[in-house]
Structure 1
Amino acid sequence: MGTLVYDGRSAVVTIEDRVLAHLRLVILAKFRRQESFSFNWVVGLANGSGRGTVWLAPGIPVYFQFDGSKEPSINKEWIDVLMLAANSPNGLSPIPEPAPGSGEAVSTRVGG
């Protein structure tokens, strides 16, 4: 399990390393474009359960810490789906990985 820390302390989110690696690529791509967006997550039972949302903006520190030492392979279709989510009014959130070759990113664009 990895950790995303935003603004030094305002949001500390524990996320599985593979998911975090994909989220990192999307978040950093948005920041390179100077784009802000919301990030949503489910708060686990160990932390009281519920949901969390934070507004991510370039220029505010974000830190990605991975427990594992190996960089996971990247699923480009997952990146596409996550980027679509980040660009939507609902914002970015950890979502299940689409199967490679599923065309989920394309159907998400067309279907809405």
Structure 2
Amino acid sequence: MGTLVYNGTGSIPIDDRLLAHLQVVIIDKLRRQESFPFSWEVAGRESTVWFGPSIALEFVYAGNRSPLLNRAWLNQLAAAASSNAGLSALPEPLTAPASAAAASVSPPSVTPPTAPLADPAKPGVPVGV
């Protein structure tokens, strides 16, 4: 169980898989300088907070593995975040096994660019040229 820390004072317990999907949607909206409400329920008590570009958020994961992201779920969460009701912890949609691979995306990773090795005799010229 991960935690979404709101403005350095409030913490919201959220399953790591859901938290990974919420993080993508929330950061996408905040990058566009969009504000929106976020509602959740814990132990039968519903709460709502306002997310905006000036609010500090921290996504803390209990696990150490990044889950595969479900594109259909990301789309549903993004649509909810853009609605008048705002973002909430929607359940993950069921996907058919045949379309699961197409509907899931890997979390982004950073791969450094590779450059050809330079010939020491010819600075700036790749080997074999």
The structure with the largest strand share of the pair is 2
Q: 2:80 aligns with which of 80, 85, 91?
A: 85
Post-superposition CA distance 1:52-77 (Å, at most 9, x none)? 00000012110000000000000000
Contact 1:75 1:100 in 2 (8 A): no
The reply to whether residue 37 of structure 1 matches residue 36 of structure 2 is yes
> Superposition pairs for residues 1-112 of structure 1, below 5 Å?
1-9=1-9, 11-44=10-43, 49-100=44-95
- Aligned to 2:68, the other structure's residue is in SS state coil
Amino acid at match of 2:53: P
Structure 1 runs, 4 residues or longer, greater than 3 Å off: none
TM-score by length of 2: 0.72
The structure with the largest helix share of the pair is 1
Amino acid at match of 1:52: S
Instruction: Give 5+ residue unaligned stretches, structure 2.
Output: 97-129
Tell me how many residue pairs correspond in the alignment: 96
Percent identity between the two aligned chains: 48
- Aligned to 1:88, the other structure's residue is in SS state coil
Q: Higher RCO, 1 or 2 (CA under 8 Å, sep at least 6)?
A: 1
Match of 2:117 in 1: none
TM-score by length of 1: 0.82
| Structure of greater Rg | 2
* Cα RMSD (Å): 1.0
